[in-house]
Amino acid sequence: MDRNGFAEFLVARRAELRPADVGMPAGGRRRTPGLRREEVAVRAGVSADYLARLEQGRDTNPSVAVIDALADALLLTGAPRHHFTMLALASGNQSRCPGSESPQEQLAESMQTILRALQPTPAFVIGRRLNVLGWNPAWADFVTPLGLLDEHAQPNLAWYIFMDPVARRVLRNWSAAADAFTAVLNRAKIRWPADDSLHEMIDALHRSPEFAQRWKPHHLGDHRSGVLLFDHPDHGHVDIPFETLDADRDQSVMIWLTDKTAAHAPGLRLVPNRAVNE
């Protein structure tokens, strides 16, 4: 049986921990890195056989008490603990997850209004698969020379980063952006486990060795804000802070705060208002 995300997380986290992390002596040589399955089982108060079934994906319905005990045993806190819990709850209930089907992603009218209001600050809307569903003229003017809108009816940020060679040339912090978009898709897979289109996108991206290397279900991060470092064909070196705002269940607004770059990139000029892309 294939491992689910929860099983993969369990195995990976157990391998990350060392005996000293949990107050145990290092002892002799170990055949595998990290804690032994029996050691985690004892800490969590479950049998080693049951933990083996969880790690192998043969048991996909742990109780809340078991999830909490395993989280404590694996020293999980904060965002990683929340992610671990979501993985556990979704592992055996993919078909019953609300809103997990593949939607026909379209830019809502309310989103169009938000994009118009944000002009001339560059902004765009992304869906659950990192499809760019809509944008305002300021964002289009900035990214068109970067090739992001070339011949794409619906551009996708992850596809651009991993599959378009231009991305490596124009993003000075390409690796950080690649990590961020991989993490976003990782969380999306947990949140919408039965979205076939999302799974197809992730499978296609695995053709990129860089994506496959980064695809680790236990690696998380908060990438809702940060800085993109561009080597722009027209504007030169431009460092743009960004913020991501969740507007509804499936769509988010990304805002590029170009006003903070004005002092560093005096040549950067944004265009006057025009109609928002629909």
Alpha-carbon dihedral 143, 147, 150, 156, rounded to 10 degrees: -70
Do 71 and 203 fall into the same domain?
Answer: no
**Residues in CB range of 238: below 8 A, 6 or more apart:** 229, 230, 232, 261, 264, 265, 268
Indicate the residue among 65, 92, 119 that finishes a domain.
Answer: 92
Q: How confident is the model over 161-213, as pLDDT tens digits?
A: 999 999 999 999 999 999 999 988 988 887 787 788 899 999 999 999 999 99
Indicate the residue among 42, 66, 92 that finishes a domain.
Answer: 92
Helix-helix angle 78-90:5-16, to 10 degrees: 140
**pLDDT tier at 249 (50, 70, 90 boundaries)?**
low
**pLDDT tier at 98 (50, 70, 90 boundaries)?**
very low
Examine residue 191 and state whether it is found in any structural domain, yes or no: yes
Do 114 and 189 fall into the same domain?
Answer: yes
DSSP string, 155-166: -BHHHHHHH-HH
The DSSP output letter for 246 is E
Percent of the chain clearing pLDDT 70 (strictly above): 82
Query: How many structural domains are present in the chain?
Result: 2
pTM, to two decimals = 0.72
Q: What is the pLDDT of residue 194?
A: 78
What CATH number does residue 163 fall under?
Answer: 3.30.450.180
Examine residue 275 and state whether it is found in any structural domain, yes or no: no
Query: Who has greater pLDDT, 260 or 68?
Result: 68
Helix-helix angle 48-55:5-16, to 10 degrees: 120
Torsions phi, psi for 55 (to 5 deg): -70, -25
Examine residue 253 and state whether it is found in any structural domain, yes or no: yes
Do 63 and 146 fall into the same domain?
Answer: no
User: Positive or negative CA dihedral for 150, 155, 160, 161?
Assistant: positive
Do 42 and 118 fall into the same domain?
Answer: no
What is the average pLDDT score of the chain? Answer: 84
**Which amino acid, one-letter code, is at 39?**
E
The DSSP output letter for 171 is B
Q: How confident is the model over 8-20, as pLDDT tens digits?
A: 889 989 988 998 8
DSSP string, 182-237: HHHHHHHHHHSTT-HHHHHHHHHHTTSHHHHHH--TT-----SEEEEEEEETTTEE
Examine residue 101 and state whether it is found in any structural domain, yes or no: no
What CATH number does residue 82 fall under?
Answer: 1.10.260.40
What is the span of the domain harbouring residue 71? 5-92
Q: How confident is the model over 109-154, as pLDDT tens digits?
A: 888 999 999 999 999 999 989 999 999 999 999 999 999 998 667 8
Tell me whether residue 138 is exposed, middle or buried, using C-beta atoms within 10 angstroms of its C-beta: 0 to 12, 13 to 18, 19 or more.
buried
- Output the six-digit token pair for 91: 């592992």
Tell me whether residue 216 is exposed, middle or buried, using C-beta atoms within 10 angstroms of its C-beta: 0 to 12, 13 to 18, 19 or more.
middle
Do 186 and 115 fall into the same domain?
Answer: yes
Examine residue 277 and state whether it is found in any structural domain, yes or no: no
Indicate the residue among 92, 127, 156 that finishes a domain.
Answer: 92
Q: Which of 118, 87, 120 is nearest to 10 (CA)?
A: 87
Do 40 and 169 fall into the same domain?
Answer: no
Q: What is the pLDDT of residue 114?
A: 92
